[in-house]
Structure 1
């Protein structure tokens, strides 16, 4: 099957026609039938026996199942509800069976935040003040684990936090910028600030600049003098750090991912310096952290 356009030439590529119909012609101008086509950004289509791109469920192979949306693109790392049934489609496009649990990567890909993120840092509590931190990087339609690190969290664990609670705030937060002792730091696009002698994090709730970085000649003792935490270990927490942006959420201030020492944090997340450098080196402008008490809560975000 060929299709000749308005200039008389046989077409190649995708052709939209009729009521949301779509067909595809290869480099030889021949219409695709009963075969896949992968477009830019790893978008996958399947063209049926009549040449039209399909929508909905498609059974194939040995009890395999895939799903195509109204835009004809295959679902990956996401759910679909068909009638009274809810399916989850993994990173390869196949529906996950009941006897084949989702992989961690599939769970990350199914999170709502994954729709806007390029990097996701998960922090899952595993003790009173300990957690496992993992860095996930989006690659096409899949998520790859680049770092796993043992971390310390607040004395109060992960939960509902407020000023002075020493609890790491539960939820999802944009990682807005990195900062530290050095003049520069290697990132993947995330901005970086060097701590100076006049750098403060404002934690005075009566200050209109509450929960922000400010450069002042002086600030009262309710505020955090950042350079005090760039000294020799164990007081080098801010040798390198990343801001968890919870501005305006009324759950406390000054929550960072920073360098670990032997103590719990006051609500931050801490990992060793080597892992901190690795983490920062992969972070761009679309990085988020998700702090939860157990793995099942990841699906809430």
Structure 2
């Protein structure tokens, strides 16, 4: 009898489902994040923020021409996602950010955030960045006497001298006057502390006919794709070098 019971016990155990072994961690699912520090991409030094996984580099090639490259951090390291050879910088060349002066036509060297965007189109479901559509009366304030210096503001809100003629050193940019370059425009976080006379309104925008007045520009196709790729969770930055 004991032998029969033992046989039945063994048979029952063999019919039970096997307990699955613990799954090995999936390395491909691991989240890759950058630690603060400096890396060099396309020869441009990039000061990374904590968690940055998207970078746009701007490498001036000659005159006001520049190579603009979009990078993403992967398990294999920094990978180039797209590159435009016909980028542009300011007609005044490049200058260290703290030494920049308003109206100089210079583009500031350094690494800056890409926090949000504006343009002429309705917001697309494909865009993750915060976005504002340009409407009548919208300006980028360049009035050094205004508390809204280097800020986006509508003239109906007041607080800056929007009636100043375009040739005046404190004249603000009426955004509807620049529909082609500002069709897609990503704000560059230069002079966030509103240091007067340092400069206002530095963007990554669509190419115009020639050099910029201090912004970085790239072909339209690059901005169209960048708007789809840029993700605030990736803490994107732009690094401008020589």
TM-score w.r.t. length of structure 2: 0.73
SS at match of 1:126: strand
SS at match of 1:209: coil
**In 1, distance between residues paired with 2:72 and 2:28?**
22
Deviation string for 1:242-263 (max 9, x for gaps)?
0001211633110001111221
Q: 1:238 aligns with which of 182, 185, 188?
A: 182
Give the aligned CA root-mean-square deviation in angstroms.
3.3
2:129 corresponds to 1:190: yes
**In 2, distance between residues paired with 1:211 and 1:42?**
35
**In 2, distance between residues paired with 1:190 and 1:123?**
20
Give yes or no for contact 1:77–1:141 (8 Å, CA) kept in 2.
no
* Gapped regions of structure 1 (runs ≥ 5): 1-26, 29-36, 44-75, 80-101, 231-235, 294-301
Give yes or no for contact 2:36–2:50 (8 Å, CA) kept in 1.
no
How many aligned positions are there? 202
2:151 corresponds to 1:207: no
2:221 corresponds to 1:257: no
The 5 Å alignment of 1:266-277 reads: 266-277=213-224
**In 2, distance between residues paired with 1:167 and 1:245?**
16
Give yes or no for contact 1:177–1:192 (8 Å, CA) kept in 2.
yes
Change (3 A) 1:292 1:186: farther
Give yes or no for contact 2:127–2:228 (8 Å, CA) kept in 1.
yes
Rg comparison, structure with higher value: 2
Give yes or no for contact 1:125–1:157 (8 Å, CA) kept in 2.
no
Moved >3 Å (runs of 4+)? 37-40, 76-79, 102-105, 185-188
Give yes or no for contact 2:35–2:49 (8 Å, CA) kept in 1.
no
Provide the residue aligned with 1:220 in structure 2.
163
**In 1, distance between residues paired with 2:221 and 2:149?**
31
2:100 corresponds to 1:156: no
Q: 2:118 aligns with which of 173, 179, 198?
A: 179
Question: CA offset at residue 276 of structure 1?
Answer: 1.1
The 5 Å alignment of 1:1-301 reads: 27=21, 41=30, 104=41, 111-113=46-48, 115-140=50-75, 142-149=77-84, 150-160=86-96, 161-185=100-124, 187-217=126-156, 219-221=162-164, 222-230=171-179, 236-246=180-190, 247-248=192-193, 250=195, 251-285=198-232, 286-293=235-242
TM-score w.r.t. length of structure 1: 0.59
**In 1, distance between residues paired with 2:110 and 2:55?**
12
* Gapped regions of structure 2 (runs ≥ 5): 1-20, 165-170
**In 2, distance between residues paired with 1:77 and 1:116?**
6
